[in-house]
Amino acid sequence: MWLNSRYTVLAALVAQATAVTQITDANMTALLNQGGVELADRYAPLWFFGEALNEVPCYPTWAFGGSPDSPDVYDTAHRTAPAPQCEYPDVGCKCRNPGVAAGSPGPAFPIYYTVQRCNETEVRVVYNLFYEKDGAEVLDLIETGHDYDWERVIIVHSRNDATKLWAPSRALLSAHSGYHNIVWSKIHSTLTTEEIEAGDAKTPAGVQNNDHPKVYVSWSKHAHFDTRDTIWVDPISQSTDNAFRSDDWWYYVEQKYYIQSDNSTAAGKALGSTDWGSATSNPPYVQASVSSNPQGRKETQKKMWFQKTFTLPSRSRGSYLITDHVLSELPEIRDYKVGMLNLFVQHTSCALSLNENWDEDVRADMSDALDRIAPYDKKGNLYRHSAEGEDDMPAHIKSALIGASVTIPISNGRLATGTWQGIWHLEFRTSRHSRKVVATIQGEKA
């Protein structure tokens, strides 16, 4: 009996030691009335950053020229410049780096935070991090990143109906598409405030349901995770949940570096009115939908459809490279992080194809080869259908062989075509014809 009681007491003590701190309804109201920075700090993450392949990562910084010693200046002239893409794996070139030896705390950086009371039982605190870029070029052909990058953790606080006490219930960690939505008690590693104040970081590990989650920032693309993963270092994996993330540096952001960034503040107004390129999920933008987005989906990255019809230049028989024309008609491609472009020509005597984009002789040879496969009916004895001329039925055959559409992947705002691939318009009629193309894009916006 005594043994059972002793174990019960010990279990209760362990549970108490790893229980997240709760606050009263009155305390929550007071914290919100004070701007929410104290609330943000009470349950803030401890951030971890790692290097791979002996290359350091980009590190969070100030969006308007600030530093640990000087604040942002909220005007266009002081907007932090984007960093250029370099060849993979040099993901940290020409951007802010940790700047200290691995295995030690990193330097200060800001949190552009917002707080939203969604209803009587839910409050959301958003911790936004700003980077000068993400990703890198691969073989000087494909850019896996962008100018600028906004990433965030959203901590959801919920009120217990029975006790009327508040505590964090979930953490939403921005990912490559949407968020990792993790129940608070299931976050892999958390720390107490006392451990944070003592400077502990790597240890203890695996302790759950304390006040401060450990958040691991992926090396190349800055997605957030609650676990380390140091296995995959290839460029493709960096855009997946296998992205490399480690704990070479860590930092707990001091309150003096919290910057309230909703539209009621100078910071928020400047952030919301500034062009961040494809990194559209700036703090005020996220704040506008943070309560109406209960599952934590990234509004800027949900699947979106776009469709447009455009006309190709009038052409007579021949094969024509139209890649530049397509890109000029579809600047919207730049808005998509990942997706597919389908081009469909609305005619039965021409075709679209992907083929050689350099030597124009290839296009001439292709037209000649198709003429040999489906020649003109000069004598009138090859085809039954001849009402529209000797070139019409051969044009239908060629169209059926080549096809009326092409589908091309979109990767980080660009068509993911090969080095020597281009989009062709193959015209099979002898006289000039104007052709309409329906372009459809489906994908996730950056």
Any idea what the CATH number is for the domain that residue 361 is in?
2.60.120.460
Is 98 in the same domain as 216?
Answer: yes
- Tell me what the mean pLDDT of segment 254-274 comes to: 96
In a domain, 96, yes or no: yes
Residue 418, amino acid: G
Is 233 in the same domain as 176?
Answer: yes
Is 203 in the same domain as 159?
Answer: yes
- Tell me what the mean pLDDT of segment 104-123 comes to: 96
Res 7: pLDDT: 32
Q: Looking at 226, 257, 289, which one is the last position of a domain?
A: 289
In a domain, 423, yes or no: yes
Is 145 in the same domain as 214?
Answer: yes
Residue 427, amino acid: E
In a domain, 295, yes or no: no
- Tell me what the mean pLDDT of segment 245-256 comes to: 97
Is 317 in the same domain as 257?
Answer: no
Res 15: pLDDT: 38
Triad 75, 267, 215: Cα angle to 5°: 125
- Tell me what the mean pLDDT of segment 190-219 comes to: 92
Q: Is the pLDDT of residue 165 over 80?
A: yes
Give the lowest-confidence range in 7-16, 76-85, 311-320: 7-16
Is 202 in the same domain as 91?
Answer: yes
Query: What is the number of domains present in the chain?
Result: 2
11 vs 252: which has the higher pLDDT = 252
In a domain, 100, yes or no: yes
In a domain, 354, yes or no: yes
- Tell me what the mean pLDDT of segment 371-395 comes to: 88
Percent of the chain topping pLDDT 70: 92
- pTM of this structure: 0.66
379 vs 446: which has the higher pLDDT = 379
- Tell me what the mean pLDDT of segment 402-413 comes to: 94
Percent of the chain topping pLDDT 90: 78
Strands 190-191 and 104-105: unpaired
What's the CA gap between 79 and 81, in Å, rounded? 6
pLDDT band (50, 70, 90) for residue 17: very low
Question: Could you report the per-residue pLDDT of 411-424, keeping only the tens digit for each?
Answer: 989 999 999 999 99
Label residue 263 exposed, middle or buried (CB < 10 Å: 0-12, 13-18, 19+): middle
Is 344 in the same domain as 283?
Answer: no
Q: Which residues of 141-173 are buried (b: 16+ CB within 10 A; e: fewer)?
A: ebbbbbbbbbbbbbbbbbbeeeeeebbbbbbbb
Is 251 in the same domain as 284?
Answer: yes
CA distances from 165 to 22, 39, 120, 124 (A): 6, 14, 12, 15
| 176 backbone dihedrals φ, ψ, rounded to 5° | -70, -25
In a domain, 16, yes or no: no
Q: Looking at 289, 320, 337, which one is the last position of a domain?
A: 289
Torsion of CA 185, 186, 189, 190, to 10 degrees: -20
What's the CA gap between 310 and 320, in Å, rounded? 16
Res 3: pLDDT: 33
Is 259 in the same domain as 343?
Answer: no
Q: Is the pLDDT of residue 177 over 90?
A: no
Is 159 in the same domain as 77?
Answer: yes
User: Tell me, what DSSP letter sits at residue 404?
Assistant: S
Res 439: pLDDT: 95
Q: Is the pLDDT of residue 362 over 60?
A: yes
In a domain, 82, yes or no: yes
pLDDT band (50, 70, 90) for residue 142: low
Give the lowest-confidence range in 68-72, 96-100, 286-290, 387-391: 387-391
pLDDT band (50, 70, 90) for residue 199: confident
Is 135 in the same domain as 255?
Answer: yes
Q: Looking at 289, 319, 336, which one is the last position of a domain?
A: 289
Res 278: pLDDT: 84
Q: With left for phi above 0 and alpha for psi between -120 and 50, is residue 233 left, alpha or beta? A: alpha
Range of the domain at 210: 23-289
Q: What's the mean per-residue pLDDT of the chain?
A: 90
- Tell me what the mean pLDDT of segment 25-48 comes to: 97
Is 174 in the same domain as 246?
Answer: yes
In a domain, 191, yes or no: yes
Res 141: pLDDT: 58
pLDDT band (50, 70, 90) for residue 11: very low
